[in-house]
Amino acid sequence: MFDASTYRSRRRTLIDQECPQSGVVLLLGNQRSPRNYPDNSHPFRQDSTFLYYFGLDRPDLYGLIDLDAGTSTLYGEDGSLEDAIWSGEQPSLRDEAAAAGIESVAPVSELEEVLTTARSDERALHFLSPYRAEHRLRLESLLGIRTEQLDASVSEPLIRAVVRQRSVKTEAEIDQIETAVERTVRLHEYAQRYATPGTPEREILAGMTRLVAAAESAFSFTPTCSVRGEVLHNHSYPNTLAEGDLLLVDAGATSPLHYAGDITRVIPVGGAFSARQRAVYEAVLAAQSAAIEALAPGVPFKEIHLLAARTLTEHLIEIGLMRGDPEAAVDAGAHALFFPHGLGHMMGLDVHDMESLGENYVGYADDQTRSEQFGLHTLRLARPLQPGFVATVEPGCYFIPPLVERWRDERRHASFINYDRVEDFLGLGGVRLEDDVLITKDGARVLGPALPKSPAQVEARAGSAVGA
Ligand SMILES: [Mn+2]
């Protein structure tokens, strides 16, 4: 945990500056989530907003912040003797609460009474979007709001307040994120060094899993580790690496306090890019470099996304995959055949930070509307950047057979796309390069230790632990 004053001041800021409303804020901690029966649960992950304000990393807790009285109360139960026998002794809730600077602790039955009174006094009840079914049921019973009405009853002022506060990372949070990114770099170094012809994808995944477990860390999301890198969220690992494949690894580890890292690298299996692979790789690298170079406070991330798209397009024109004016091609959305996703997202306690609160609240300013154009519609972060934001920068270039087939049949953007040449590249898979950046007062800083990225560096590193 951070020290008690951190959590106290976060709650104080919410009360005094960020949420100038009246009423009560109810934050739900997570429960254990069963896999196949109640005693066999998924590894516990606390709710990120609960962690942010209340710090306690155990199940079945509720935090209540009274915006008028300025007080915070933690609701939960001490472990029973039975719990101590099966799961070991736990510190008392009161001691844990003190470590998070929480002045009062009470059993959950009292929360029900407090909320009943608040409702009969017609006080405003602020809660966030529930993303687990258990939360919907708890909110229904605690607040008397039917589950189907919950989404319409979430507190927009609270969402906006939490987003404002969590978006700007403090020094201590940046330290955590640096640790997460450093652990993430170790995973990628492993993959780079052990990716050799004949190695199953699962063996690379297993090596990364060992590193995560040994560091008492966790993956911040389900890793992609695949020679089918054109499948954007590929969560299967059935293939064996072969000479000439491109292995795409998108993986991240968490810090001790659950902050995320998220990096993507591509490895030429066998240690040498083909001419086509190298050309595509260099196109993505150029797009990422241009994007990172342009990051600065006040610049809308949407502009950075479009800059990356134009840079990629210029290279794809050189390769012969596209033609015409790069700017016009990007305006029309033609590049999205190759780059159908957004350039990046905020990162913090969640790898897609605060996404459960609503992507547009997190990533878009009030005067920005989300584009409906294919590709641009998935841009999660568009708003002007501020010092203290942490985000990913992850352009990619993919050859996705069903997408190519559909567009070619429709002759979509045929003036910008050379479909005959695209045919030659089908089977190449996908290239994405992703790093995590902190926006500073005058620019941006890539977080974590250096990780091979230039074509020469990744060729030299590929399979180097095993030898030629
Ligand atoms: Mn990412």
User: Per residue in 181-202, pLDDT tens?
Assistant: 999 999 999 999 999 999 999 9
Cα dihedral 285/290/293/298 (nearest 10): -130
What global pTM score does this model have? Answer: 0.96
The span from the CA of 47 to the CA of 60, in Å, is 11
- Mean pLDDT over 393-397 rounds to 98
With respect to CATH, is domain 171-461 assigned 1.10.1760.20? no
Cα of 382 to ligand 1 centre, how many Å?
15
Q: Which of the four pLDDT bands, split at 50, 70 and 90, describes residue 271?
A: very high
Which residue type is seen at 186? R
pLDDT at 468 over 60: no
Token couple for 309: 């798209």
Cα of 225 to ligand 1 centre, how many Å?
14
What are 302-351's pLDDT values in tens digits? 999 999 999 999 999 999 999 999 999 999 999 999 999 999 999 999 99
The pLDDT of residue 363: 98
The pLDDT of residue 296: 98
pLDDT at 21 over 90: no
Cα of 238 to ligand 1 centre, how many Å?
23
Cα of 351 to ligand 1 centre, how many Å?
7
Cα of 99 to ligand 1 centre, how many Å?
33
β 125-126/24-28 pair status:
parallel
CA distances from 430 to 52, 392, 462 (A): 36, 18, 17
State the chain's mean pLDDT as an integer. Answer: 97
Cα of 435 to ligand 1 centre, how many Å?
8
Cα of 344 to ligand 1 centre, how many Å?
6
Beta carbons within 10 angstroms of residue 213's beta carbon:
10
Cα of 66 to ligand 1 centre, how many Å?
36
Cα of 396 to ligand 1 centre, how many Å?
11
Cα of 333 to ligand 1 centre, how many Å?
21
Cα of 290 to ligand 1 centre, how many Å?
18
Cα of 25 to ligand 1 centre, how many Å?
31
What are 207-216's pLDDT values in tens digits? 999 999 999 9
Q: Which of the four pLDDT bands, split at 50, 70 and 90, describes residue 17?
A: confident
Distance of CA 111 to the CA centre of its chain: 32
Which residue type is seen at 322? M
- Torsion-angle region of residue 320: left (phi > 0), alpha (psi -120 to 50) or beta? left
- Mean pLDDT over 116-129 rounds to 96
Instruction: List the domain boundaries for the chain.
Output: 4-167, 171-461
* Packing angle of the helix pair 201-214, 171-194 (nearest 10 deg): 140
Question: What angle (nearest 5°) sits at the alpha carbon of residue 375, between those of residues 167 and 435?
Answer: 45
What is the percent of the chain where pLDDT is above 70?
Answer: 100
What are 59-83's pLDDT values in tens digits? 999 999 999 999 999 999 999 999 9
Q: Would you say 60 and 76 are in contact if contact means Cβ atoms under 8 Å apart?
A: yes
Ion ligand 1 neighbours (CB, 5 A) are 262, 392
What are 123-162's pLDDT values in tens digits? 999 999 999 999 999 999 999 999 999 999 999 999 999 9
pLDDT at 467 over 80: no
Cα of 352 to ligand 1 centre, how many Å?
7
3-state secondary structure the chain: CCCHHHHHHHHHHHHHHHCCCCCEEEEECCCCCEEEECCEECCCCCCHHHHHHHCCCCCCCEEEEECCCCEEEEECCCCCHHHHHHHCCCCCHHHHHHHCCCCEEECHHHHHHHHHHHHHCCCCEECCCCCCHHHHHHHHHHHCCCHHHHHHHCCHHHHHHHHHHHHCCCHHHHHHHHHHHHHHHHHHHHHHHHCCCCCEHHHHHHHHHHHHHHCCCCECCCCEEECCCCCCCCCCCCCECCCCCEEEEEECEECCCCCECCEEEEEECCCCCCHHHHHHHHHHHHHHHHHHHHCCCCCEHHHHHHHHHHHHHHHHHHHCCECCCHHHHHHHCHHHHCCCCCCCCECCCCCCCCHHHCHHHHHCCCCCCCCCCCCHHHCCCCCECCCCCEEEECCEEECCHHHHHHHHHHCCCCCCECHHHHHHHCCCCEEECEEEEEECCCCEEECCCCCCCCHHHHHHHCCCCCCC
The pLDDT of residue 215: 96
pLDDT at 466 over 90: no
The span from the CA of 308 to the CA of 297, in Å, is 17
pLDDT at 9 over 90: yes
Architecture of domain 4-167: 3-Layer(aba) Sandwich (3.40)
What are 231-248's pLDDT values in tens digits? 999 999 999 999 999 999
Size (the chain), residues: 468
Cα of 342 to ligand 1 centre, how many Å?
10
* Packing angle of the helix pair 301-319, 275-294 (nearest 10 deg): 160
